[in-house]
Amino acid sequence: MRDRFNEQLTELNNNLIEMGALIEGAIAQATQALERQDVGVARAVIERDDLIDGKEKEIEGRCLKLLLRQQPVARDLGQVSTALKMITDMERIGDHASDISAICVEMAGQEYIMGLEPISRMAQVTISMVTQSIDAFISHDAELAKAVIARDAEVNALLVTVKKELVAVLVRDHAAHGEQIFDLLQVAKYYERIGDHAVNIAEWVIFAITGKHKDRQVF
């Protein structure tokens, strides 16, 4: 019975890796669409969001079967319930990549009113955070999860940089580019939310390893 349970946990981890690859690819391609103003790539990200949703449902079903059929002990229960929490955040990350891509389609053909360096850096950091948070779960690495949480400050600082640059454009041009200012701010906010979801995943990884979620003892 225990051997079968371990096999199913391995399958669950493999499914999480697959979903992680899908969302990492979605963020990377959404960023490519933004930087290159590539409408085709942006639309491909939007269309493939269904794959991420489908993977979430597949993992959810696997988790529920483990809980109902195997009746795991406390620590195993923590691992399975963490996977259930993680996929909710992972699905939202896919949604945000799709949201960024939709804005890219709207801005197609427009000359950007600011350099994209801080937004591109937000993308790089958040992709790394997502990858590391999933790796931390698979490898049961609480220190890696804590490192993900620590990087959220960098994403927040970059968001402030983007806001300041857009305000400067707003003042200089007297709101002549108001729509694009709003669009770019939304893009930056979506990356910031992706970082927040990566932090959520990391916090649940720590729960799976230690039995504590933030300051609350769970088991």
Query: What's 189's domain CATH number?
Result: 1.20.58.220
Q: Which amino acid is at 88?
A: T
Name residue, tokens 């991420």: 52
Domain residues for the domain of 108 are: 2-217
- Amino acid identity of residue 57, one-letter, is K
DSSP state of 211: S
Domain count for the chain: 1
Question: Using one digit for the tens of pLDDT, what is the confidence trace for 15-58?
Answer: 999 999 999 999 999 999 999 999 999 999 999 999 999 999 99
**Single pTM value for the model:** 0.91
pLDDT in tens, 123-159: 999 999 999 999 999 999 999 999 999 999 999 999 9
Residue 177 has a pLDDT of 83
Task: Say yes or no to pLDDT of 189 above 90.
Answer: yes
What's the chain's average pLDDT?
91
Do 87 and 56 form a contact (C-beta atoms < 8 A)? yes
Q: Looking at residue 1, what is its pLDDT?
A: 53
Per-residue pLDDT tens over the stretch 101-126 = 999 999 999 999 999 999 999 999 99
Q: Are 69 and 30 in contact (CB under 8 A)?
A: no
pLDDT grade for 216, boundaries at 50, 70 and 90: low
The yes-or-no verdict on residue 72 having pLDDT over 80 is: no
The first and second tokens of residue 139, run together, are 């490898």
- Token pair 């909710």 is found at 88
